[in-house]
Structure 1
Amino acid sequence: MSRRLTVEADGGSRGNPGIAGYGALVRDTDTGALLAERAEPLGTASNNVAEYRGLIAGLEAALAIDPTADVLVRMDSKLVVEQMSGRWKIKHEDMRRLALQARDVSADISAAGGSVTYTWIPREENKDADALSNVAMDGQTVDRRLDREDAAAQTAATAPADACGSVPTLPGTPVRVVLVARAPGEGSRTAAAAVAHLLGSAPRCLLTAADDAAVETAAEVGAALGTEAVVDAAWDEDGDLVEAWDRVVARGGTTVVVCAADAVRAVLAHLLGVPAGRSDRLAVAAGSLAGVEVWADGRVSVAFTNRT
């Protein structure tokens, strides 16, 4: 019997057309195991173009994993599902070109002995792909194969005792850090929901400063992510934040850090080269998120700040 894979894909455009990006992932249909994730910014494009690009990326990822698999594509785009199923005509030239690309990948899977079928799902059932597409619209690129050398890292990240162990970095994949400014009460829950929406099912380590407010916020974030927080006092406001940052980067993978707004501001000032006396010009609200990518060549990209 052929292996069964599920592709979940999504795309979005902030403005339609506007800042666009897609997200796609591949799961083992029978076990639910996450095997691959892809996301890419597209510049200015329409929502439909982004949806199709997500489909193509998902099919290509499935083809790379097992070209003989029976692939089920799940998308919340009625347009793409109906057009790719042959029930709706494709009138727009951009859509036609992208549909042909998707069909070419499908044909490669069929030629190897596999198959591709499509089903529409409600938006709320496509949250992980949607989260990846938002990562892309924030300017980040993701290309991860979790069924190979990164599989051990994924397994470790699901076990609290080992969640913050070192993670091998795949070529072309940056180290990602999400800094969360602690917030009391309802602010903690809002921050937790924002982190869960951003990361979806991506493996991550969760660190927190030692103060009560940070631990409270980290508990909410951990509950949303299904990950236990690890206390690291170096992330306290009077801790060695540069050393703490360097350790997170050296670890690799994706790390979420909960700490005081002033600590977030200090790290961003360090990365951006902002003089200490001017760091207060960086807006960091309680409960907000800042995202940073660090590439293998040392390049640092602050993807977003003060996001809620």
Structure 2
Amino acid sequence: MKYKLEWVHKLKSNEKVKCNSEWASAETAVQLGEELERSGKAIDLYFYDEKGTSWILKEMKKLLTEIEEEPQEITVYFDGGFHKETNQAGLGAVIFFQQGKKKYRIRANELFDEMDTNNEAEYAAFYFALNILEDLGVQHQSCEFKGDSQVVLKQLEGEWPCYEENLNRWLDRIEEKIKQLGIYPKYTAIPRNDNKEADKLATQALEGKNIFAKTIIL
């Protein structure tokens, strides 16, 4: 989750100016808040998260302690591959996140039977990634989802209608899972060339190669 600060800055002339910051991580936001408080020039200092919830500095410090070991700064790449001859799908997901002071990457895939279309495989891959986030204990976090299926991302955003019954079922499952986890999603369409890792994982699943790897990023 990202946070921004709003405060009133008191000038030497006693004139007051309302200020606000850019979005930042909880740790950075608290650090800025502490510096503003020490300056003695900031009054009415509040923090806001991406859902509009407000916090004072004391509450933010407590929150920072509570979430220190929870996954943060989450970015998910997903892709689905489809074999029309076998009606099988390969699901690939690459997840980047920070936990404590360390950054991690998860690479995972799965073979899924009884698929009808490539779009359905993309939806299944998205849901597969959500299940991994659930296993990680992700709760009430902002997450950016990146994929090369503009259809899936636009339908998830609600910008494009979905008329196919089987895809609507996937949409319902995904929206329910996002609601259950309290995730604040951001959807970003990327070129296929920028989604090579998730695509490779999907292909490897179709080839019978099962992968789940969690590594520290140096």
Counterpart of 2:108, as a letter, is E
Q: Determine whether 1:50 maps to 2:124.
A: no
Kept in 1: contact 2:91–2:111 (CA 8 A): yes
Counterpart of 2:149, as a letter, is S
Equivalent in the alignment of 1:93: 165
User: 1: distance between equivalents of 2:155 and 2:104?
Assistant: 29
Deviates more, 1:70-79 or 1:22-31: 22-31
Q: Determine whether 1:20 maps to 2:89.
A: yes
**Counterparts in 2 of 1:44 and 1:60: CA distance versus 1, 3 Å:** closer
1:29 deviation in Å?
6.7
TM-score (norm 1): 0.43
Counterpart of 1:78, as a letter, is Q
Equivalent in the alignment of 1:40: 111
Higher strand share: 2
Q: Determine whether 1:136 maps to 2:212.
A: no
User: 2: distance between equivalents of 1:140 and 1:43?
Assistant: 19
**Counterparts in 2 of 1:74 and 1:139: CA distance versus 1, 3 Å:** same
Cα deviation, 1:182-203, whole Å, max 9, x if unaligned, reads: xxxxxxxxxxxxxxxxxxxxxx
User: 2: distance between equivalents of 1:44 and 1:77?
Assistant: 17
Counterpart of 1:64, as a letter, is D
1:50 deviation in Å?
0.6
User: 2: distance between equivalents of 1:26 and 1:108?
Assistant: 19
Kept in 1: contact 2:78–2:198 (CA 8 A): yes
User: 1: distance between equivalents of 2:181 and 2:186?
Assistant: 11
1:137 deviation in Å?
1.3
Note the residue ranges of structure 2 that are not aligned, 5 or more in a row: 1-25, 27-66
User: 2: distance between equivalents of 1:26 and 1:55?
Assistant: 11
Equivalent in the alignment of 1:106: 178
1:64 deviation in Å?
2.3
Cα deviation, 1:145-166, whole Å, max 9, x if unaligned, reads: 62xxxxxxx46xx99xxxxxxx
Pairing partner for 1:77 from 144, 149, 162: 149
Kept in 2: contact 1:68–1:109 (CA 8 A): yes
Note the residue ranges of structure 1 that are not aligned, 5 or more in a row: 147-153, 160-308
TM-score (norm 2): 0.59
Pairing partner for 1:63 from 134, 155, 160: 134
- Number of equivalent positions: 146
Cα deviation, 1:215-243, whole Å, max 9, x if unaligned, reads: xxxxxxxxxxxxxxxxxxxxxxxxxxxxx
**Counterparts in 2 of 1:127 and 1:36: CA distance versus 1, 3 Å:** closer
Kept in 2: contact 1:9–1:23 (CA 8 A): yes
Equivalent in the alignment of 1:220: none
> What SS is found at the alignment partner of 1:71?
strand
**Counterparts in 2 of 1:10 and 1:140: CA distance versus 1, 3 Å:** same
Equivalent in the alignment of 2:61: none
**Counterparts in 2 of 1:28 and 1:137: CA distance versus 1, 3 Å:** same
User: 2: distance between equivalents of 1:36 and 1:70?
Assistant: 20
Counterpart of 2:180, as a letter, is D
Counterpart of 2:119, as a letter, is N
Q: Percent identity?
A: 24
Q: Which has the higher contact order (CA 8 A, sep 6+)?
A: 2
- Correspondences of 1:207-246 after superposition (within 5 Å): none
- Correspondences of 1:199-210 after superposition (within 5 Å): none
**Counterparts in 2 of 1:67 and 1:145: CA distance versus 1, 3 Å:** farther
User: 1: distance between equivalents of 2:162 and 2:85?
Assistant: 19
- Correspondences of 1:227-266 after superposition (within 5 Å): none
Kept in 2: contact 1:109–1:115 (CA 8 A): no
In angstroms, what is the RMSD of aligned CA positions? Answer: 2.7
